[in-house]
Structure 1
């Protein structure tokens, strides 16, 4: 895997306070283009809070986030998909009355020229773009092995299928960086194994850099090129999975006891 010398994503000194509570404390790390990076830590460590800073849902109290060399914090939150950052969420939020195809097509809106008014009024410009949007959505449906569900409404779909639809929808915007928030939550062992393959294919076939928050340690350690560990809002480790696995601070954070010699 070739890597450029400059990181695709650079997090520098990110601190976030909610009143007197310090949710993130001087967190810094890089993600290189083409990497799969894992962000782990015990419950309440600040992982999703950091994701919310990356996607502009939260405004850090201090620090800087750059993406492809430009400040993320200077970008309005509604334009985050347009600069190349996509995201999935812990709680899958599909449009249940729409079909799988329509849900994935919605994810393409940030790459179309028609605005809200044009779309609402179904102006000619919308009609001209729709075939290309549909074609891209169908490609992603096939990529995620969702062909059998193309015209099914999202309501009532099995949970693992809903997660794959959400992932396809995130990819529809052609992100350079995809933030996956606990993608293995609610999946059984076989489904997690399938997810691991899908994440690798997202990187290898779609050319998308991946940063995932996850509690499923075997998934993180097997799929990640690097792992960042946070605890009580502070970074305590950053390195290859084998290095992080043996880090005494990481063992202490998860087990509550010092590492054995």
Structure 2
């Protein structure tokens, strides 16, 4: 049975944190993420040019800019998919360039992708369970031999995945294969998988892409509910200005790899450089 792709009105579920506690980053002092003088070049093309900004704990920060501004490049640096040789990124006091790629999720960074990266032949529930891998402790051998503790960990993962399914309004399609679902529903599945790793920082890469007006409105409510329910920090890359300005506490604007504006949504919207970048004319 298919459901509407619009997220249902969120009824927050108090998730259990006894097995997978919320990262300490959620309550510590200082910015959760600090980007300093970040430069990324591809064969002489400068994708990011000395970009610096902070992401405060518990806030929703919007990262905006025209196509080619460097937003996805920055996200790929945060996910350690791209290497950078100039500048620094510090997450909860730790330098990301010193971290191996496979440690990013365990460190407390979760991400959705502009192009969905789900397992199409797996069910909704199983796709969300994949995100729990970063928070499990039993290895392949322990599972193969069914060593003590494996069954308990599996039960905890199943319980948490079911809670996320409930939170996102996906109960009716929990046992369906992802390939059978409409695009908007699959977007929520990917969001559930990112939340399963219990990130301190959630990176949302164009979550409104492909959604209709009604779905975008519901997405804004969902993003705020996620921030409040899970007490995490959100960095949002999005072209839909109405969504960004309505949900963000802070906005950073890029153009051709440079930061051109930063501040509250109201301050950024009045910035002449941003207006010129989007409209091609002076304010």
Question: What TM-score bracket applies, with the shorter chain setting the length?
Answer: over 0.9
User: 1:9: which partner in 2?
Assistant: 33
Distance in 2 separating the partners of 1:138 and 1:40 = 34
Distance in 2 separating the partners of 1:237 and 1:3 = 28
Task: Please state how far the C-alpha of 1:117 moved relative to its aligned partner.
Answer: 4.5
Greater relative CO, 1 or 2 (CA 8 Å, sep 6+): 2
Matched, 1:137 2:177: no
8 Å Cα contact 1:8-1:33 kept in structure 2: yes
User: 2:102: which partner in 1?
Assistant: 78
In the TM superposition, structure 1's runs of 4+ consecutive aligned residues that sit over 2 Å from their partners are 2-5, 115-119, 121-128
Paired residues for 1:46-195 under 5 Å: 46-119=70-143, 121=144, 123-124=146-147, 125-195=149-219
8 Å Cα contact 1:4-1:32 kept in structure 2: no
Where structure 1 has 5 or more consecutive residues not aligned to the other structure, the ranges are: none
Q: Alpha carbons of 1:52 and 1:117: their partners in 2 closer, same or farther (altered >3 Å)?
A: farther
Distance in 2 separating the partners of 1:126 and 1:92 = 30
Structure 1 vs Structure 2 CA RMSD: 1.5
Matched, 1:249 2:266: no
8 Å Cα contact 1:109-1:173 kept in structure 2: yes
8 Å Cα contact 1:23-1:49 kept in structure 2: yes
Aligned length: 257
Secondary structure at the aligned position of 2:129 is classed as helix
Distance in 2 separating the partners of 1:219 and 1:5 = 28
In the superposition, the TM-score normalised over structure 1's length comes to: 0.95
Distance in 1 separating the partners of 2:79 and 2:95 = 12
